[in-house]
Amino acid sequence: MKTDNTVWHDQQVTKQQRAELKKQKPCLLWYTGLSGSGKSTVANAVDALLFERTCHSYLLDGDNVRHGLNGDLGFSDEARVENIRRISEVAKLFLDAGVIVSTAFISPFASDRAMAKAKLEQGEFIEVFIDTPIEVCEQRDPKGLYKKARAGEIKDFTGIDSTYDVPESPQIHVKTAEQSIEACAQQIVNYLIERQFISS
């Protein structure tokens, strides 16, 4: 619970100085898509390409964050809202440190993605829609979760009995059923170069 007795301290080293040191413009690549759409795979491939280019990046991945920071949260609508709220706050801290951040969460609700965007400066939030038809996700089923959801063993499964709001105007639209993992990752890195978040 926030109290009235806390005061914001400006830090001596600024976000801009940190970014200049790293020779990059911090931003948040916000991956969103169904389970099995390819968020983790593509985000990891992008992160590896950025690392190769000596960029300072970090990936917050849904499954991993749910093991620690958000280990107390389930998959009700309320829990998902709190999950995204915490992630967006953590991502903002990373941006303050001058880092290029990727978050790979289903983040099914448009209102939560808008909330995450609103926390950042103009242009920093880059919505990356990993657009993969549910039939393809279900066929891939890398964790066997669709099978369990169809069998009624998992409730509130996104795309089956829980909502996914399709992004209306994502900055980057990635179709993993039509392109290789490498091509998807390169599409995102090209966007960062074109918008001068990183140098070519």
Ligand X SMILES: Nc1ncnc2c1ncn2[C@@H]1O[C@H](COP(=O)(O)OS(=O)(=O)O)[C@@H](OP(=O)(O)O)[C@H]1O
Residues acting as catalytic residues: 107
Instruction: Record the tokens describing residue 114, joined without a space.
Output: 């808008």
107 binds, among ligand X, ligand ADP, none (CB under 5 to 8 A by kind): ligand X
Is 37 near ligand ADP (CB under 6 A)? Answer: yes
Stretch that binds ligand X, among 3-11, 91-99, 100-108, 177-185 (CB under 6 A): 100-108
Judged by beta carbon, residue 119 or residue 140, the one nearer ligand ADP is 140
Q: Which residue is nearest to ligand ADP (CB)?
A: 38
Contact string 83-122 vs ligand ADP (x = CB under 6 A): ---------------------x------------------
Which residues lie closer than 8 Å to 91 by C-beta, 6 or more apart? 28, 60, 101, 103, 116
- Is 56 one of the binding residues for ligand ADP (CB under 6 A)? no
Strands 172-174 and 125-130: parallel
Stretch that binds ligand ADP, among 4-12, 16-24, 70-78, 176-184 (CB under 6 A): 176-184
**CB-CB contact of 129 with 98 (8 Å):** no
Of 190, 32, 25, 47, give the one whose Cα is nearest residue 95. Answer: 25
CA–CA gap between residue 126 and residue 131 (Å, rounded)? 15
Largest CA distance in the chain: 56
What are the structure tokens assigned to 192, written together? 């960062």
Q: Is 63 in the site for ligand X (CB under 6 A)?
A: yes
Residue nearer to ligand ADP on the CB measure, 24 or 102: 102
At closest approach, how far in Å is the CB of 175 from ligand X? 17
CA atoms of 75 and 90, how far apart (whole Å): 20
Within 13 A of 76's CA, how many CA atoms are on the CB side? 5
Query: Does residue 184 belong to the site contacting ligand ADP (CB under 6 A)?
Result: yes
Q: Applying CB under 6 A, which part among 39-47, 87-95, 118-126, 192-200 lies near ligand ADP?
A: 39-47
Q: What share of the chain is helix, strand, coil (3-state, %, to 5)?
A: 40, 15, 45
Q: Which positions lie near ligand X, rule CB under 6 A?
A: 35-36, 40, 62-63, 66, 75, 80, 83-84, 105-108, 143, 145, 154, 156-158, 162
